[in-house]
Chains A and B, each alone.
Chain A
Amino acid sequence: MDNIVGKKPALLWAVHLSVLALVLLWVLPVVGLLVSSFRTGDQIVSSGWWQALSAQEAQQPAIRIAGTEVAQDGVFAISGNLYGGKGGAISAWGTSSREPEAHAPGDTAELADGLRLTVQENGDFSLTSPASLADQRLPRVFTTASTPPEFTLQNYRNVLFSPLAGQSIGQAFLNTLTVAIPATVIPILVAAFAAYALAWMEFPGRALLVAFIVGLLVVPLQLALIPLLQFHNWIGIGKGYLSIWMAHTGFGLPLAIYLLRNYMVGLPKDIIENARVDGATEFQIFIRIILPLSFPALASFAIFQFLWTWNDLLVAMVFLGTDNDKLVLTGNLVNLMGSRGGDWEILSASAFVSIAVPLLVFFSMQRFLVRGLLAGSVK
């Protein structure tokens, strides 16, 4: 294929540029989330993520003076740094919400009760008072300052190690894998046999069966949950791993059969017919020829089914149950969020924690997605 493009560097450049544009468009939202996951909740809601890397000149939230009081010659003094030494350059400051920019750095402001406050450009302050300030409400300082970019790993620490969720994330990872792997492998195998029959065996009603399966793809999950859970309770498996494996298998089958059948139909006809002429049984054809040739389709379905079971919360809650020791990763992450939602910093960090495994699966399966190698060898 390269030889077509290779001769036309202009076209090649166009391809590079359009792929770059496409990738940027697709990645930009994720980058936003990634950057946000390293910021505090306050930062996320107070400035755009694309500004996170540059120093910001902005009105800062009010900072209340705090520190230990030192008494000297009848004057009580508190000094320290407004930003806790994190850096920042003040261009104006004030102590009233009405005039937040009343003073320049280095100025001394006279407050009520004889308090005097001086704030330097780097945020150092000193507050003096003729009377003790103990047990008194200390003044607020409003600053307009440029602050250096600041990132935190706290969100990830919260997601990975917080005891809030009731169990360790390691256990949740293990539970999710326990759910996802059988729920990926079993439907593939069952579907592969069915797909082969639908693709290469002659029997009446074949096209209708295909239509039946496509029709089942559209069944809304919410409706199937109650009758199926009733059924599981009735046959006595109730809620548990067996229950969720069966449920995921049932829900995943239509797409699996549909994708695999479509792929198998496209396999070269002569190989199969030659094998039949040579006296191979259908079972042998399936195992020796169809399965190896269908590897790309099996791999791609495996990826999708794995993603779906990995990201699922609803089916897990209904069929696995809600016991703490059976909690899946999504359930664990949801528990970290407050009752009223909107914890963007937790959401963003947890999105990246849960995305890690599916991406790993995709990367490792990617080389199996190529059919060229196998198809070339049989020609």
Chain B
Amino acid sequence: MHPALQAILVILGGVGGCVGYFYASNLILDKVLFPARGPQAGRNINRANLVRPWLFLAPALAALTLYLAYPVFATFWRSLLNQAGQFVGLANYAKMAHEPKFTEALGNNLLWLIVVPAAATGFGLLAAQLTDRIRWGNLAKSLIFMPMAISFVGASVIFKLIYDTREANLPQIGILNALWLKAEGGIGSVLILQLLPFALVVSLIAGFAYLGWLVLRPLWRRRDETAWIRVGRVIGAAVAVFLVIELASWAYGIATADLPYGQPQAWLQIPYWNNFFLMAVLIWIQTGFAMVILSAALRGVPEDTIEAAVLDGANPFQIFFRIKVPQIVGTIVVVWTTITITVLKVFDIVYAMTNGQWETQVLANYMYDKLFRAFDWGMGAAAAMVIMALVTPILVWNVWNARREMR
């Protein structure tokens, strides 16, 4: 049979099969097993409603268990074995904790986890809100979405064309270096390369300080919150304080930096900052995702709430932050979560551009390295378990959010 014909049959069979399964199983449940008739009608309806969710969930749960949950347990078990397959307990984890590359990867991953979801969601929200208001919005959206359609390998090529470095006496083919070499240390370069970033960073510091304060303040104002929420607030504030300190060191660095004008820079080889050049690739890709989802959510905000705010004399910023954003918080959580998970899993970018050299290692690439370069499946599995453990806070946040929604 021709595969294309087979594909059509699969679509028809799959769709028909799924619908048929759901329809038939419902029918059997309602008419045969627990008919809503006779003396036990009431009890039967309750029983049917107890079983029905599992009917709806069954195919998905079966596939999830087989395709993802089982590999997780297999992986966990593998992480307890050594290279030869003997049980060694937590030795792989202990060994990993002593590897400098692992601690480096962990540190970098935390940086990625803060920066990439925040930047991609932020840009995505901005793009979604702004493009909704103008006539060529759909065109703009398509253009911002375009990077989503490029494979990671393609994206790495694109950014290689941006970060490329040549010696000073050759024509640069990387646009970043070409622009950088245009700056020659005059008053203009100081203004653009030092004063402007300094101002941006300082305003970011102010923003995070304010946010931290907002998160922390209810701790002693409101006594009715549960302990978990209080812990969450303290953690949130701690992150804000960390960011403020980090950014303050940036601001100091920017203000006092003696920039090497006229020398082409190997961007991907400047420790610490090269992480941000790699993150830029993922932000560039993921913003389109955030924008599409958030834009749908924004359009779903009921018109009457906005009209009421307009009548009350709210300005566009107030409408955006006070009316729209609170109504789409659920979607923002979803987007944030999805991008966070992409960050945890993505290794293609680091693999293709630096392979973790020059202190850019991340956990996913570390895992790949152990699996397919060193053939140390135990260590690779252990690294995978660490990646999965890192998602726990997000998990808690999602459970909390789901519970709140159900109330």
Residues of B within 8 A of A197 (CB): 52-54, 56-57
Residues of B within 8 A of A304 (CB): 148, 289
Residues 44-60 of B, flagged 1 when their CB comes within 8 A of A and 0 if not, give 00000110111011011
By size class, the interface of chain A is 35 or more
| B67→A347 contact, CB < 8 A | no
| B26→A282 contact, CB < 8 A | yes
How distant is the Cα of A330 from the Cα of B67 in the complex, in angstroms? 24
Q: Which residue of A lies closest to B403 (CB)?
A: A207
Residues of B within 8 A of A249 (CB): 63, 67
| B175→A50 contact, CB < 8 A | yes
How distant is the Cα of A334 from the Cα of B27 in the complex, in angstroms? 50
How distant is the Cα of A213 from the Cα of B133 in the complex, in angstroms? 35
The 8 Å CB contact of A262, one of B7, B66, B72, B331, is: B331
Tell me whether B349 is interfacial, beta carbon within 8 Å: no
| B319→A26 contact, CB < 8 A | no
Count CB-based A-B contacts (< 8 Å): 327
| A241→B299 contact, CB < 8 A | no
By size class, the interface of chain B is 35 or more
| A182→B10 contact, CB < 8 A | yes
| B391→A215 contact, CB < 8 A | yes
| B66→A36 contact, CB < 8 A | no
Residues of A within 8 A of B239 (CB): none
Given contacts A22-B130, A201-B53, A369-B296, contact A27 B146 (CB under 8 A): yes
Given contacts A257-B60, A282-B26, A355-B149, contact A362 B334 (CB under 8 A): no
The 8 Å CB contact of B171, one of A46, A255, A370, is: A46
How distant is the Cα of A58 from the Cα of B173 in the complex, in angstroms? 14
Which stretch (A69-77, A130-138, A221-229) binds chain B? A221-229
How distant is the Cα of A359 from the Cα of B296 in the complex, in angstroms? 18
Q: Which residue of B lies closest to A249 (CB)?
A: B63
Residues of A within 8 A of B254 (CB): none
| B338→A217 contact, CB < 8 A | yes
| A22→B126 contact, CB < 8 A | yes
Within 8 A of B (CB), among A238-269: 241-242, 245-247, 249-251, 253-255, 257-259, 262, 265-266
Within 8 A of A (CB), among B1-35: 3-4, 6-7, 10-11, 14-15, 18-19, 22-23, 26, 30
| A26→B144 contact, CB < 8 A | yes
How distant is the Cα of A34 from the Cα of B48 in the complex, in angstroms? 58
Residues of A within 8 A of B302 (CB): 375, 379
Tell me whether B82 is interfacial, beta carbon within 8 Å: no
| B175→A300 contact, CB < 8 A | no
Given contacts A193-B60, A281-B30, A300-B293, contact A30 B147 (CB under 8 A): yes
Residues of B within 8 A of A212 (CB): 69
The 8 Å CB contact of A220, one of B15, B69, B147, B345, is: B345
The 8 Å CB contact of A216, one of B52, B64, B138, B333, is: B64
Which stretch (B191-199, B226-234, B243-251, B364-372) binds chain A? B364-372
The 8 Å CB contact of B123, one of A22, A185, A241, A265, is: A22
Count chain A CB atoms within 10 A of each CB in B50, B133, B344, B372 and give the residue with the most.
B133
Tell me whether A44 is interfacial, beta carbon within 8 Å: yes
The 8 Å CB contact of B134, one of A15, A51, A185, A189, is: A15
Residues of B within 8 A of A191 (CB): 60
Tell me whether A112 is interfacial, beta carbon within 8 Å: no
Tell me whether B183 is interfacial, beta carbon within 8 Å: no
Q: Which residue of A lies closest to B316 (CB)?
A: A4
Residues of A within 8 A of B80 (CB): none
Count chain B CB atoms within 10 A of each CB in A2, A3, A227, A326 and give the residue with the most.
A227
How distant is the Cα of A141 from the Cα of B405 in the complex, in angstroms? 76
| B381→A223 contact, CB < 8 A | yes
Residues of B within 8 A of A221 (CB): 345
| B133→A218 contact, CB < 8 A | no
CB distance from A204 to the nearest CB of B (A): 9
Which stretch (B90-98, B156-164, B264-272) binds chain A? B156-164
CB distance from A187 to the nearest CB of B (A): 8
Residues of A within 8 A of B396 (CB): 211
Residues of B within 8 A of A91 (CB): none
The 8 Å CB contact of A266, one of B134, B300, B406, is: B300
CB distance from B144 to the nearest CB of A (A): 5
How distant is the Cα of A35 from the Cα of B187 in the complex, in angstroms? 33
Residues of A within 8 A of B162 (CB): 29, 32
The 8 Å CB contact of A250, one of B14, B67, B297, B303, is: B67
How distant is the Cα of A33 from the Cα of B157 in the complex, in angstroms? 8
CB distance from B298 to the nearest CB of A (A): 9
Residues 314-338 of A, flagged 1 when their CB comes within 8 A of B and 0 if not, give 0000000000001000100000000
Tell me whether B74 is interfacial, beta carbon within 8 Å: yes
| A218→B391 contact, CB < 8 A | yes
The 8 Å CB contact of B158, one of A18, A29, A326, is: A29
Given contacts A27-B143, A282-B26, contact A222 B367 (CB under 8 A): yes
Count chain A CB atoms within 10 A of each CB in B74, B284, B330, B402 and give the residue with the most.
B402
Within 8 A of B (CB), among A305-363: 307, 311, 313, 326, 330, 344, 347-348, 351, 354-355, 358-359, 362-363
The 8 Å CB contact of B161, one of A15, A16, A49, A266, is: A49
How distant is the Cα of A44 from the Cα of B131 in the complex, in angstroms? 34
| A194→B60 contact, CB < 8 A | yes
Given contacts A201-B53, A362-B149, contact A32 B143 (CB under 8 A): no
Additional pairs, 16, CB under 8 Å, beyond known A4-B316, A48-B171: A29-B147, A33-B157, A44-B173, A47-B173, A51-B171, A182-B7, A216-B64, A216-B69, A220-B345, A223-B74, A231-B66, A296-B300, A300-B292, A351-B157, A355-B154, A369-B296
Write 23 A-B pairs (CB below 8 A) sorted by A numbering. A3-B310, A4-B310, A8-B316, A15-B130, A22-B123, A28-B175, A29-B284, A32-B161, A44-B173, A47-B173, A186-B10, A194-B61, A201-B56, A203-B50, A210-B399, A211-B398, A216-B64, A220-B384, A223-B74, A281-B26, A282-B56, A296-B300, A300-B296
The 4 closest A-B pairs by CB, nearest first: A250-B67, A194-B60, A197-B56, A358-B149
B interface vs A, CB < 8 Å?
Answer: 3-4, 6-7, 10-11, 14-15, 18-19, 22-23, 26, 30, 49-50, 52-54, 56-57, 59-61, 63-64, 66-72, 74-75, 123, 126-127, 130-134, 137-138, 140-154, 157-159, 161-162, 171-175, 178, 284, 287, 289, 292-293, 295-297, 299-300, 302-303, 306, 310, 316, 319, 330-331, 333-334, 337-338, 341, 344-345, 364, 367-368, 371-372, 380-381, 384, 387-388, 391, 394-396, 398-399, 402-403, 405-406
A interface vs B, CB < 8 Å?
Answer: 1-5, 8, 11-12, 15-16, 18-19, 22-23, 26-30, 32-33, 36, 44-51, 58, 174-175, 177-178, 181-182, 185-186, 189-191, 193-194, 196-198, 201-203, 206-224, 227-228, 231, 241-242, 245-247, 249-251, 253-255, 257-259, 262, 265-266, 281-283, 286, 296-297, 300, 303-304, 307, 311, 313, 326, 330, 344, 347-348, 351, 354-355, 358-359, 362-363, 366, 369-372, 375-376, 379
